[in-house]
Amino acid sequence: MDFKLTEEQLMIQQAARDFAQTELLPGVIERDEHSKFPADAVKKMGELGFLGMMVDPKYGGAGLDSVSYVLAMEEIAKVDASAAVVMSVNNSLVCAGMEKYCSEEQKQKYLVPLAKGEVIGAFCLSEPEAGSDATSQKTTAIDMGDYYLLNGTKNWITNGSTASTYLVIAQTDVEKGHKGINAFIVEKGWAGFEIGPKEKKMGIRGSDTHSLMFTDVKVPKENRIGEDGFGFAFAMNVLNGGRIGIASQALGIAQGAYELALKYAKERKAFKTEIINHQAVAFKLADMAVNITAARMLCFKAAAEKDNGEDISISGAMAKLFASKTAMDTTIEAVQIHGGNGYVSEYHVERMMRDAKITQIYEGTSEIQKIVISRGIAK
């Protein structure tokens, strides 16, 4: 295996790093405090090609590989995890799912503006009762002939009010179970489609998270993705790739916290020497470095397998499981290294600790990743 990045990959990494430092770092604390969506930064991310990184250029994307995506996600998440999750959803869930499974007409109408970053999308699976259990959809889409009648509620939807295009998973035939589930493209502004209040969250406060309500929303037949009953398979396949995005976000949060803790440890003095010279601190940093490197390799492995067209259900779950734990562990220790300063916002690490927790929850909890992995290795 070649661990050396290509010249193009290094350029993408540097471009993302420069963008994060110049466009995201200023104001990141204020956006967190006021739960402010980074609208201007997201617009610029689109202009730079960060919202459709892996989409074929013929559909408006950058046509890059998944490793480049991991590199860019890490750099963005190092500074602002809220901006990173917008990027992750648009790339890994919305654009990836549409490019692979949508019709040519659907791609031209919806994928092109999404890949260009002219608009952003949302992936609507979770529900008040179902959570991550895609087989227990309460949202229904009744076949009315030339259209479906959509009714139900979706929860915890990233880009909930800022998206223009929504991929909605709904049950069409209850008797068929998961084979009676479909995926639909829904537009903002359609009659009966309402957006609930923004959620007040512990972390990633800048991201736009809402509940969505559908009341007799008419969805044209041509907006169904794939054949009738394909919705469950669509959701599962898309989520497999989405785990790479979340793992990369977790990786970035961990790396950002580690860099801040390392810098602080080299400057802060206690007992007449910099605290990095005390083993209690140095060993924490050593553990961070090892785990972050391991998490990065798992992300690269999953990304490379995706580019090779391999099954990434296990590798993606492993990357997300380990990277999210690494993010949580690293940020907790980063706060500890900062001492009292770690508990105040100006040092950033307390925000990173709050942001890290969500990476263990969305796209399936850590327990769900273990289910995926254990089932895979048992085959």
CATH 2.40.110.10 in the chain: give the residue spans.
122-231
H helical segments located in the chain: 7-19, 28-33, 39-47, 66-79, 81-88, 96-101, 104-106, 112-116, 231-267, 279-307, 313-338, 349-358, 366-378
Mean pLDDT over 293-317 rounds to: 95
| CATH class of the structural domain 240-378 | mainly alpha
CB burial readout 308-343, b (16+ within 10 A) else e: eeeebbbbbbbbbbbbbbbbbbbbbbbbebbeeebe
CATH 3.10.20.30 is the classification of domain 122-231: no
CB 306 within 8 A of CB 231: no
User: What's the pLDDT tens digit per position in 333-356?
Assistant: 999 999 999 999 999 999 999 999
In the chain, the amino acid numbered 171 is Q
Q: What is the pairing mode between strands 165-171 and 121-124?
A: parallel
Mean pLDDT over 83-97 rounds to: 97
CATH 1.20.140.10 in the chain: give the residue spans.
240-378
Contacts of 87 (CB under 8 A, 6+ apart): 45, 50, 51, 72, 73, 76, 245
Q: Say if pTM beats, i.e. exceeds, 0.75.
A: yes
For position 131, what pLDDT does the model report?
A: 64
Task: Judge whether 267 counts as a catalytic residue.
Answer: no
Please determine, for residue 22, whether its predicted confidence score (pLDDT) is greater than 80. Answer: yes
Mean pLDDT over 84-103 rounds to: 97
Q: Nearest Cα to 313, choosing from 297, 298, 302?
A: 302
Rounded Cα distance between 352 and 79, Å, is 9
Contacts of 176 (CB under 8 A, 6+ apart): 229
Mean pLDDT over 83-107 rounds to: 97
User: What's the pLDDT tens digit per position in 178-232?
Assistant: 899 999 999 999 999 999 999 999 999 999 999 999 999 999 999 999 999 999 9
Contacts of 221 (CB under 8 A, 6+ apart): 145, 146, 147, 148
CATH 1.10.540.10 in the chain: give the residue spans.
7-120
Rounded Cα distance between 349 and 18, Å, is 20
For position 243, what pLDDT does the model report?
A: 94
At residue 210, the 3 state secondary structure works out as: strand
Catalytic pick among 74, 75, 333, 363: 363
| CATH class of the structural domain 7-120 | mainly alpha
